[in-house]
Amino acid sequence: MSQKKALIVDDSTVTRLMIRKIILEKNPDWDILEASSADDAKTLLKGHQDIDFFTLDQNMPGNLSGLDLAEDLKKNYKNTKVVLITANIQDAIKNRAKTIGIDFVEKPVTPEKIIPLLD
């Protein structure tokens, strides 16, 4: 089986480190890529078409939100798990995530919230 890849998209370095740590404690062989904005993630993805797991923040600098990026990802990565991890817990955000077909996780990030989504 080939090595799995995850892309963590969040403008907070601390949050990216926490998510990375949680993923690698459960799956130490995974390759972890990081981006600090949705725009950076789209650029990074041009060289990586084989992502198995995405985590996205909602509010980041740049032209795209996490949900905007999620809509693009669901077109190109139909069977890939996409998780929105955000402190923005408005019903409109939760409902849009559900409509897009992605998981919603409220910050703060904890292993209990992330590990079940890795399987």
DSSP string, 6-32: EEEE-S-HHHHHHHHHHHHHH-TT-EE
* Structural domain boundaries, residue 25: 5-118
How sure is the predictor about 2, in pLDDT bands with cuts at 50, 70 and 90?
Answer: low
Number of H helices, E strands in the chain: 5, 5
Give the CATH number, domain containing residue 26.
Answer: 3.40.50.2300
- Res. 1: pLDDT tops 80: no
Q: Over the stretch 40-55, which tens digit does the pLDDT of each residue have? A: 999 999 988 889 999 9
Q: Is the pTM of this model over 0.85?
A: yes
Number of folded domains that form the chain: 1
